[in-house]
Amino acid sequence: MLLDTGPLVALFAPDDRNNARARSRAAALGTTRLVTCEAVVTEASYLLYRPDRRAQMLLWLDAADIEVRALAPGERASVRALTLRYADLPTDYADAVLVQLATAARITRIWTYDRRDFSVYRVRGRPLRIVD
């Protein structure tokens, strides 16, 4: 399952309105394999703003064995095309990379609080199943 920025931030920001929700979901994941991207980690790091929260997030990514993928050089064209295809949202880089990763790895679910955008994005002609 893909991991988006919103839940990642909520897990480590006690003042985030989704903190309890994120902690509950994280506890319920069990052996679910989570995959995210460098862009999401960068975005979450910026939004967490406090060094202790950033450190906790990075520790959790390692401890929970979250796969943090980087784009392959050949995938940038697809990300650029997705950014243009969904320009009316507008699609940010992290979202476009997640959609590309879902396409490449045949991932069908995403843990996100961004229903507005992720209900529109399509992976192989189908919407991702949103887990929140």
Q: Does this model's pTM top 0.75?
A: yes
Cα separation, 35 vs 54, in Å, equals: 18
Q: Give the amino acid at 45.
A: S
**pLDDT bracket for residue 90 (50, 70, 90):** confident
Among the listed residues 40, 48, 43, 49, the one whose alpha carbon sits nearest the alpha carbon of residue 71: 40
What would the CATH number be for the domain defined by 2-131? 3.40.50.1010
**pLDDT bracket for residue 25 (50, 70, 90):** very high
The pLDDT value recorded for residue 68 is 97
| Mean pLDDT, residues 54-69 taken together | 96
